[in-house]
Amino acid sequence: GGAWPEPLHTLTQTRPGDLPDAVVGAIRVGFRRLSPSAQQTLIAAAVVGERVSEAILGRATGLSPADLTAALDELEWQRWLQAEPRGYGFVARVVREVVDHDMVTPGQRGRILASLG
């Protein structure tokens, strides 16, 4: 119960654990509807940080350039990521936090970070 987001708090101040179950569930369902390459790319983007270049996503995912391009196009069309001069970023920070918190295993996180050196 209670208002969401909490009074005097914005969505950017809300943590994944503070979100209503329906919101987290909707993000999870939408994530699972993505292609495997898009899921892999979205996970890498969530682990790496706020803005990430296509080159870094390529290293982090190990996808071929064609598969990475297709995944990034899908993620842009589905409004998960947006392309900016500094790289790709999540359209909504709260979505990044849910993906990072709920959709990434410790092993995946370690492999992604190890691939980046």
Is-contact 42 34, C-beta < 8 A?
A: yes
Q: Name the pLDDT band for 12 (thresholds 50, 70, 90).
A: low
Please give the Cα distance from 48 to 88 (Å, whole number). 11
What is the model's pLDDT at position 49?
84
Mean pLDDT in residue range 108-114: 95
Torsion angle of the four alpha carbons 64, 67, 73, 77, in this order, in degrees rounded to the nearest 10: -140
Residue pLDDT, tens place only, 46-96: 999 889 999 999 999 999 999 999 999 999 999 999 999 999 999 998 899
Angle at 88 between CA 84 and CA 93, to 5 degrees: 105
Strands 81-84 and 87-90, by their bridges, are: antiparallel
Give the per-residue pLDDT at 64: 97
pLDDT band at 117 (very low <50, low <70, confident <90, very high): confident
Helix %, strand %, coil % of the chain (to 5): 60, 10, 30
- Residue type present at position 6: E
- The pTM of this model reads 0.83
* pLDDT band, very low/low/confident/very high, at 14 (cuts 50, 70, 90): low
Give the closest residue to 99 by CA, choosing from 26, 27, 49.
Answer: 27
Percent of the chain scoring above 90 in pLDDT: 71
pLDDT number for residue 35: 98
